[in-house]
Amino acid sequence: MSDPKTPDRFEVGGPLPSGMTLLEASAGTGKTFTIAALTTRYIAEKAMPIDRLLVITFTRMATGELRERVRERLVSAFDGLAGVMAGAAPAVDDEIVQLPSRSPARCWTTPTPVSSPSPSRATT
């Protein structure tokens, strides 16, 4: 029997948490990796708009690193999932891209083309 005060071990590929989730761990344990993975999964699996996710950290330096890592993870997952949808095998080192093949019953969304804002034009 587990101690009720001890939280269950968190698995990035496990069920997505609902509601508010606090991720607390020592330095160097993979918090940034985990937050980037969770953000990616909420967007890919639950079609959660990124502007509906609140991700916070404590310093400006950590915020910049987190922002960059989430962006990199989103691009990597998008490219990987697009490849899988085109018939390629999922990368063996990408747990998120492998999830649809391991759990086909999950509700995965079909990527919807996102129109990017038109570039601003400088006037002279």
Going from N- to C-terminal start, the domains of the chain cover 31-91
Spatial separation of the C-alpha atoms in residues 41 and 12, rounded to whole Å = 9
List Cα–Cα distances, 42 to 15, 16, 124, in angstroms: 11, 8, 43
User: In a 3-state reduction of DSSP, which class is residue 11?
Assistant: coil
| Residue-by-residue pLDDT tens, the chain, 124 positions | 556 666 667 777 888 888 887 777 788 888 888 889 999 989 888 888 999 998 888 888 889 999 999 999 999 989 988 888 888 888 888 888 887 776 655 545 554 444 444 443 333 3
List Cα–Cα distances, 48 to 2, 7, 24, 39, 68, in angstroms: 33, 26, 23, 9, 19
CB proximity list for 62: less than 8 A, separation 6 or greater: 32
